[in-house]
Structure 1
Amino acid sequence: MIKTATTEENGAVSPHVAGLKRRVRRAWLIFAAVFVVGAVLVALAANRYGRDAAVADLLAQGRTEINLKSALLRSVLERPRALPLVLSQDRDVSDALLTRSASDVDRLNRKLEALVTGTKAAVIYVTNDRGVAIASSNWQEKTSFVGSDYSFRAYFRDAMANGAGEQFALGSVSNRPGLYISNRVLSDGRMLGVVVVKMEFEQLENDWRDSGRPAFITGSEKVVLVTNLPSWRFMTVGQLDPGAASAIRESLQFGGAPLQPLPLRQAAPLPDGITTVRAVLPGGGEASFIELQTEVATTSWVLHYLVPLQPALGDAVWQTMFLAFAVFLGLSVLTAIVMWRRQANLFGQARAALARAELERRVRERTRDLSRARDLLQAEVSEHRNTEQRLKGVQQELVAANRLAILGQVAAGVAHEINQPLATIRAYAENAQTFLERQKIDTARENVGLIVDLTQRIATITDELRAFARKGRGAPEPVPLRNVLEGAVVLLKTRFAGRIEAIVIDLPAEDFNVLGNRIRLEQVFINLFQNALEALQDRADARVEVTVEKTMTGVTVHVADNGPGIPPEIRDVLFTPFNTSKEQGLGLGLVISKEILADYGGAISVESDETGTRFAVGLKGA
């Protein structure tokens, strides 16, 4: 508390002191009111900003994910569509429909059974012109389709009338949902029957279920066909017209499904018209979601994707509010300190004015001291403000530099990491073209399948790099070391054809599981094997020896070549970005490899001389 003189001799100036006290009280009341109003405004602004920023992030992420799901769905749908057309022109199919002999039907049954394994279709069957199945890939099973009448199915009627048809329905025999794709069989203009391929989406639904976010597909009838929430299957978007619902039930397209509406209700829209819904999830929990939709090309289907608003929205709002309040409170405390010091100066001056006459000299000296202290304080405050402005400038420059550095590393990493899969894809594509020209369709189809797997690998690599930039590294898991080494060799086999035999992998009988991610660990050994093969070039005695040594914490993989060795000037900065002895190299392969190993508790070291180069890769056991 600031003390003031109250002696009788100072009574002449007591009104001045009383007025000063009133002004001080009024100043603190105004400060308190401004603080309360400011706190409310900061809370509202922080809530709005944090909410908008979180919604924007969720929307961008959701659009990316729904586009990926839609692309995957289209690729899954396109694979079996050509099969009915090809089979409708097959001699075995037309012979079985024409002769109906036991030998022809038996041959067709076995052929369809073999095709199911290679095409990943659920079942393939052939019906006569009356819709009765005469042959099926499941002819040996208890739930065989042979002898079943499918004339009531729309896909049969459409194929007979128009040549082809598609229908999503619940199997009348298997009681499993799927997409039926059909094609008419003709012989000299006569309609013999229909070839039907049934495709099921159980694997696709399982893949969607791993994301933890509701996703479902609706057809033209607004009925849920495919979903990662089994209890939502065959429910409807909104209430169906009674006539339409009755027609669907009579057709047995979805069996005895009640066709009840989905447990969704529209919620208040977010800014920019973003649609939100409240959904009752299996188990009774209710949550809010952003609803995204996209049409599936070449179908009448619509893909729906629900992105949960919580906890991401709540976390973002609380983080923003915490930061805003921290800044606001800091400014308020600084203002209060300045006010208090200013008022202390004013009361000090008042006490000096009330001093007795004999103390005037000391009062003047004290006043000069106080003035000097005030000047120093003001200079210090000014210097603090200038320093704060400079710090803000430096922080902004550092943020900009950091963003540019991260952008450069991600761009260079993507270019480097997908180089090998792209080279392999090109080789497989050229081989597939050659096989097609030679009419080796099965071999060409196998190469195309390998290309699909490698494109998925590229997608996984870009997801890993995007996850590194946004969220950090994924959780490690047990990975068989043998699979990692063999996978790296497979990816290099086409590019180094004729030289890949130089890699000799000596693995012990006991297989080891190491901690990490298979694709990222393959990247490490792809870099090491590629560097070794490029260093050996066309040497007749080229040899790359890969051995495994068990350690206390895991294993050490040794990769040794008999090349010319690494120059000392390069070896000293081998794990520094952008240092390389290759004309077309980026100098990032070993840097990225070291970072990948560090993520999983591993390490890498190198020894090199004129007899060759030896890398030691330490991995943790799982």
Structure 2
Amino acid sequence: MTRPPPPSIDAAPRTGNRRALAVLAAAWLVTSLVGAYAAGETARRDSETVLARQSENAAALHAAVLRSELEKYRSLPPAMATDADVARLLQEPDSTDATALNQRLEALADQTRASAIYVIAADGVTRAASNWRRHISFLGADYGFRPYFIKAMRDGAAEFFALGTVSGKPGLFLARRVVAPDGRALGVVVVKVEFDALEAEWRSSGEPAYVADPGGVILITSVPAWRFRTLRPMDAASRRLTLADQTLGHGALTPLNFRTPADGRSQIVEATVDDAPRPWMHASAKTATPGWTLHLLTPTRGAIETAVANARVIAALIITLVFGVLAVLLRRRQQTAARHRAAETARHDLEQRIVERTRALSEANAALNRQIEERMRAEASREALRDELVQAGKLAALGQIAAGVAHEINQPVAAIRTQAETAAAYLERDQAARAARALTRIGDLTARIGAITRELRAFSRKSEPGLAAVSVNEAIDGALLLLGGRLRQAGVRLIRNKDQDVVVMADRFRLEQVIVNLIQNALEALEGASSPVITLSARQDGDQVELIVADNGPGVSPEIREQLFTPFVTSKTTGLGLGLIISRDIVAAFNGELDLRPAENGAVFVMTLRSA
């Protein structure tokens, strides 16, 4: 079929189309610039909000850690202030040996990791200290001028952050007044807390943190150069007062190189850390100590700039995509009229092709259905053949065990005859009780013959495959009932573990057929052995049960082992090589596996079945 050529487009529509495309391009350019700028600013605000929330959470966590650290130490001064040994030392300093108390303070400082714990008498002289063994011992030092001593003696308790006069290391001094029973002030117990470990932990997080007092002086910080610097400039009077109170050098109390927001809101600041100025998100949180505020700088790591750039790019791409779609729609609308006639012709052509393809698919579908039916008939024939093969395997096994079963039946029959004659003799002698016992034994022997014949009939019966819960011990009992005579005639010792009975999903008589086949193979392998032994065992591993049949015969040669489960491969002169194939198919129908496990002596066959 010949398709008509597309219609021509004259010059006037072309000029109009170009003008529309030019207007669309100008609108795209303006919209892209405005949209990219608006999206960038929105992304900047969102990123700053998210970063501020994260920084506030981190600052609250730092404040909680600091609070926990301080609360651990704040309980020490009140406890020591009520200690009897401390009061005794302060009341009778000349007659009391402070060695025992020094040792207690030393042990307590080691346990709590306090920098120092010491006792100051009312005259300001230290009487006991945890660092009494060190060269910087506080013993005998006069701390009567220290603000924490003066305030504790006056108010009962004091907290003061300052440099140590002996150690020169900054720390928080927690003081509590020791009072005699008559209300007289005896002295002060002081615990010095240093924050080296806490500052090191903050430093390792990569987020500069610092704690400022009410005057804006930085006391605790992860940046050592910021210690005792201020958040804002201080006047001369405040500077002199702070230097006097904190016993600092004249190089301290200079403002930081960046402005710390005073309104408490999280915002971006430009700070120099490690000689590298860059933007940080500042957040603050109150601490448990009145007037102390924790400040935290979270690095932006370019996240805000990246978010702004990504937002602008995405906005530009979306706008470009929208205008691209509009351009495509415009172009398609222009081409719709020209393509209409060609589309109509193509539609008729397509309908014809659909009819032809439908016919071809119908023929292919019919051929496929015929193949499926043939496959189904072949599968049914294969299943029937497999069932016949299983039944043939049963009958072949019956032929091999017939002699043993005949021997098993002959013995009870002979015993029945003997017991019958014995019962008749007892009846002639008028010995009814003994005759009754002989008749009872005849009944037991008859029941044994019936059990053997029932098992033989059940084993030979052609059964429909079906899975049910089967006791492994019962299946083994049934197999041994058929093969017991052959085992005894061959002089084979049977080792069997019946302590634990396990239940598997299988068909009872087909499972017995597999066990009979494996035991018969073991019997044939043990012909001529000096001390033949067959071992039967079963063990459960989770939802799997392993039934093991092992012998101490010569085992399976490597040549046969490679093709053991291949049809018509056997080491027997009279065998067909189908017994193990049938057995494996039966076990596979139980959703299990039959395999030969490597062993040093003899052959070990393992059936793995699902537990019921």
TM-score (norm 1): 0.51
Number of the residue aligned with 1:309: 300
Cα gap change, 1:102/1:204 in structure 2, threshold over 3 Å: closer, same or farther? farther
Say whether 1:229 aligns with 2:202.
no
Number of the residue aligned with 2:99: 106
Structure having the higher Rg:
2
Q: 2:253 is matched by which residue type in structure 1?
A: L
Q: Any residues of structure 2 matched to 1:377-526 within 5 Å, and which?
A: none
Summarize deviations over 1:373-396 as a string: whole Å, max 9, x none: 7999xxxxxxxxxxxxxxxxxxxx
Deviation at 1:77, TM superposition (A): 0.8
Q: Which of 253, 256, 263 is matched with 1:262 structurally?
A: 256
Number of the residue aligned with 1:299: 290
Deviation at 1:103, TM superposition (A): 5.8
Q: Any residues of structure 2 matched to 1:95-174 within 5 Å, and which?
A: 95-101=88-94, 104-174=97-167
Summarize deviations over 1:236-294 as a string: whole Å, max 9, x none: 1111121011111123433444201112237999xxx9542433323321222332222
d(CA) in 1 for partners of 2:221, 2:336 = 73
Higher relative contact order (CA 8 A, sep 6+): 2
Q: Which of 82, 90, 105 is matched with 2:75 structurally?
A: 82
Number of the residue aligned with 2:324: 333
Report SS of the residue matched to 2:174.
strand
Cα gap change, 1:313/1:79 in structure 2, threshold over 3 Å: closer, same or farther? same
Cα gap change, 1:373/1:36 in structure 2, threshold over 3 Å: closer, same or farther? farther
Deviation at 1:209, TM superposition (A): 1.5
Report SS of the residue matched to 1:184.
strand
CA contact (8 A) 2:56 2:285 kept: no
Number of the residue aligned with 1:514: none
Say whether 1:241 aligns with 2:235.
yes
Cα gap change, 1:103/1:129 in structure 2, threshold over 3 Å: closer, same or farther? closer
Deviation at 1:168, TM superposition (A): 0.7
Report SS of the residue matched to 2:42.
helix
CA contact (8 A) 2:210 2:221 kept: yes
CA contact (8 A) 1:54 1:316 kept: yes
Unaligned runs of 5+ in 1: 6-15, 350-365, 377-563, 570-608, 610-622
Q: Which of 193, 204, 224 is matched with 2:198 structurally?
A: 204
Q: 2:112 is matched by which residue type in structure 1?
A: T
Number of the residue aligned with 2:277: 286
Number of the residue aligned with 1:216: 210
Q: 2:297 is matched by which residue type in structure 1?
A: L
TM-score (norm 2): 0.52
Cα gap change, 1:266/1:207 in structure 2, threshold over 3 Å: closer, same or farther? closer
Deviation at 1:199, TM superposition (A): 0.7
Summarize deviations over 1:327-383 as a string: whole Å, max 9, x none: 33333333333333444567xx5xxxxxxxxxxxxxxxx86115777999xxxxxxx
d(CA) in 1 for partners of 2:319, 2:297 = 36
Number of the residue aligned with 1:40: 33
Summarize deviations over 1:1-21 as a string: whole Å, max 9, x none: xx998xxxxxxxxxx944333
d(CA) in 2 for partners of 1:173, 1:189 = 32
CA contact (8 A) 2:32 2:315 kept: no
Cα gap change, 1:26/1:152 in structure 2, threshold over 3 Å: closer, same or farther? same
d(CA) in 2 for partners of 1:110, 1:267 = 47
d(CA) in 2 for partners of 1:178, 1:375 = 94
CA contact (8 A) 2:32 2:316 kept: yes
d(CA) in 2 for partners of 1:57, 1:565 = 57
d(CA) in 2 for partners of 1:375, 1:176 = 96
CA contact (8 A) 1:219 1:300 kept: yes
Number of the residue aligned with 1:193: 187
Q: Which of 303, 306, 312 is matched with 1:321 structurally?
A: 312
Cα gap change, 1:301/1:268 in structure 2, threshold over 3 Å: closer, same or farther? closer
Between 42-51 and 163-172, the greater mean CA deviation after superposition: 42-51
Q: 1:45 is matched by which residue type in structure 2?
A: A
d(CA) in 2 for partners of 1:566, 1:319 = 57
Unaligned runs of 5+ in 2: 1-5, 350-538, 545-607
Q: Which of 36, 59, 71 is matched with 1:66 structurally?
A: 59
Q: 2:295 is matched by which residue type in structure 1?
A: H
Cα gap change, 1:105/1:274 in structure 2, threshold over 3 Å: closer, same or farther? closer
CA contact (8 A) 2:88 2:96 kept: no
CA contact (8 A) 1:92 1:104 kept: no
Cα gap change, 1:566/1:294 in structure 2, threshold over 3 Å: closer, same or farther? farther
Report SS of the residue matched to 1:174.
coil
CA contact (8 A) 1:143 1:173 kept: yes
Q: 1:332 is matched by which residue type in structure 2?
A: F
Report SS of the residue matched to 1:44.
helix
CA contact (8 A) 2:28 2:323 kept: yes
CA contact (8 A) 1:276 1:288 kept: no
Cα gap change, 1:312/1:372 in structure 2, threshold over 3 Å: closer, same or farther? farther
Number of the residue aligned with 2:174: 181
d(CA) in 2 for partners of 1:46, 1:159 = 59
d(CA) in 1 for partners of 2:123, 2:262 = 53
d(CA) in 1 for partners of 2:207, 2:248 = 25
d(CA) in 1 for partners of 2:231, 2:173 = 23
CA contact (8 A) 2:161 2:246 kept: no
Cα gap change, 1:328/1:55 in structure 2, threshold over 3 Å: closer, same or farther? same
CA contact (8 A) 2:176 2:188 kept: yes
What is the total number of aligned residue pairs between the two structures?
350
Summarize deviations over 1:503-522 as a string: whole Å, max 9, x none: xxxxxxxxxxxxxxxxxxxx
Cα gap change, 1:375/1:219 in structure 2, threshold over 3 Å: closer, same or farther? farther
d(CA) in 2 for partners of 1:284, 1:209 = 16
d(CA) in 1 for partners of 2:77, 2:345 = 97
d(CA) in 2 for partners of 1:375, 1:25 = 34
Number of the residue aligned with 1:369: 342
